[in-house]
Chain A
Amino acid sequence: VLKHLPAIASAFAVIALILGLSSVLSADPRPLALQPSPDAQEYADAADQLAHGHGYVTRIYGEPQPPRYPPGFSIALAPLAEVGAYPANVQRGAKAFAALYVIAVVIAAWSLGGPISALIAAGVVAVSPFARQAGGLVMSDALVATLAVLILPLLRTPTRSGTALAGAIAGFMSVIRLNAIAAVAGLIAAFRGRRKWMAVIWSLPPIAGLALLQWATFGSPFTTGYTYWHVSQHSFGLSYLLKTPPRGDGPYIFADRLHGHLANWTCPCPLGGSQAKLPNIAFYPFLLLGGFWIFAPPLFTLPGLLAACRQWHDPASRFVLTTVALSVVTFVFYFYQGARFMAAPAALLIVLSSATIARSIERWLHRHLAHS
């Protein structure tokens, strides 16, 4: 049994991966006008404009305006915006990134913990609603999560190219979503010595490119689209920590598989249920632990989190803990609440948990089968 275990686990991992992929690829794309506004419409239109040489702009009443979001996701979608009719081409691209998320999680889990780990990760992603729901939306969350988990295998191979690639990925993540700069901080915590500085240097070109674009658009490298559109006068504040009900997505973009039942004790709740009720300080930890089953089933991420705390000497653990902690600390003070902001931290924890659980299963099997 032990001899054939990796082959059996590999076969089932492939089956689970195919199931997960088919679930994403069969998701009906939501009509662009009914997708989260203005995020999805701006990402899609800006990708189309970029592809046709009009610069990083979005049309509002036919007039080109600077979008409020950083350009990373539209840059990733732009090559796909050149093929086929708009907006179906961009929606296909977004679905491809959601499918890539499923593949990336399985590859990362395999690299960290072998075929059993890959099987567990593939199963978790297939039964959780995030990937399928992301497949129907033009939103950047699946791509950020994909890039975050792709860094994990690179931390295991002490090569210059691996370090450079990890740095470049973290830098590109930062121009998809500004707070993803937490991944660069994660690399600084993960690497030691020269590799640390090499990763930082490779992460800089995308960030410098963003600063140059903002300089060329607004006349200052520090003025963002958010500033231009006056998204919020006070984006960060202590009061957001405990504000209930918070201003946020509720369950309308990524919904809990359990319809918020595990947090119903917090009700009476506003429309949207408990997913629209919890203050930031409780919402994000509860979400990451699977209290809202969007990324992983309840408590699935706990073994990974505990293992990461115990194995601080491991670069992957340092990367995951730093990225998760910085993401949570950033968003608990943010004026807007959304489960999707935790896509990358949750994906990292899923991979780590899968590897941890797989190691425990292997140990248990070896012990019991060796005795018998």
Chain B
Amino acid sequence: VHLRRAHLATVPVLGALLTATCAHALGQPPQLLVVSSAPGVVVKWNTGSGIPGAVYVSESGAPERLFARGPRGSQSAPWVLPERRYRFRLYGEVRAKQLLITVTIGKKAVTKRPPVPDLNPPRTGHIVNAILAYVPYLVLATFTALLVWHMAERRRASRG
């Protein structure tokens, strides 16, 4: 009897989970809006189906930090600078953290790739390139020779 009651008790929990999952599957798509607001921006989010969610932010590729939590909401970020790149991510939190949507803002998002190279970039000739291949060893040899000379001089000085 006790076992059956325990089983029955899990029904509402499973039902809630099923409802949340179905609502998420059938409900509105998740939304994450970043709206300009001097100073900084305002971030608005909605997981779409009332499931718990969290917004994380990462600046210029740095690790993500928690920005806000809740199924929906709006929060200002006055510290956002126009010349930097920020990536906001909305996660659903039914059981495990599930990525719902990503928004990247800032000037650097546009110029993420390196600048388009010059069609005729300046280059050194083959002879210079061949010499350059030996430069690391020349530097190493010079420092070694100077070090040996220095050790010899110190030894002579200590004997004297």
Give A residues with C-beta under 8 Å from B: 34, 38, 50-57, 60-61, 63-66, 75-76, 78-79, 154, 157, 159-162, 164-165, 168-169, 172, 206, 209, 213, 216-219, 228-229, 245, 247, 250, 252, 268-272
Contact = CB atoms under 8 A, between A and B. Distances in A.
Interface in B29-60: 57, 59-60
Interface in B122-142: 122-125, 128-130, 132-133, 135-137, 139-140, 142
B122 A79 contact: no
Contacts of A154: 150
A97 to B, nearest CB: 14
A75 B139 contact: yes
Interface stretch (B3-11, B19-27, B68-76, B111-119): B111-119
14 contacts: A50-B133, A50-B136, A53-B132, A55-B124, A60-B117, A78-B135, A159-B154, A164-B146, A168-B143, A169-B143, A172-B139, A218-B122, A271-B65, A272-B62
A213 B124 CA distance: 8
B124 A56 contact: yes
Given A157-B150, A165-B143, A218-B122, 4 more contacts: A55-B128, A61-B117, A157-B157, A168-B143
Contact of B114 (A51, A60, A66): A60
Contacts of A164: 146, 149
A157 B83 CA distance: 50
Across the A-B interface, give the 8 residue pairs with the lowest CB-CB distance, nearest first. A55-B129, A161-B150, A78-B136, A161-B149, A53-B133, A165-B146, A159-B153, A271-B59
A103 B49 CA distance: 59
Interface string B141-160: 01100110110111001000
B153 to A, nearest CB: 4
B81 A217 contact: no
A54 B157 CA distance: 45
Given A63-B121, A65-B121, A219-B122, A51 B133 contact: yes
Given A79-B136, A161-B149, A217 B65 contact: no
Nearest to B150: A161
B153 A56 contact: no
Contact of A252 (B62, B117, B152): B62
Nearest to B67: A271
Contact of B123 (A64, A209, A271): A64
Nearest to B118: A65
A72 B30 CA distance: 51
A247 B149 CA distance: 45
Given A159-B153, A159-B154, A160-B153, A269 B136 contact: no
B67 to A, nearest CB: 10
A191 to B, nearest CB: 15
A270 B124 CA distance: 44
A55 B123 contact: yes
B61 interface: yes
A145 to B, nearest CB: 17
Nearest to A54: B129
A66 B128 CA distance: 14
A22 B89 CA distance: 37
Contacts of A206: 139
Contacts of A218: 122
A178 to B, nearest CB: 17
Contacts of B129: 53-55
B79 A270 contact: yes
A87 to B, nearest CB: 17
B143 A66 contact: no
Given A50-B133, A159-B153, A159-B157, A66 B121 contact: yes
Given A76-B136, A161-B146, A165-B147, A34 B122 contact: no
Given A54-B129, A247-B83, A75 B135 contact: yes
Nearest to B40: A270
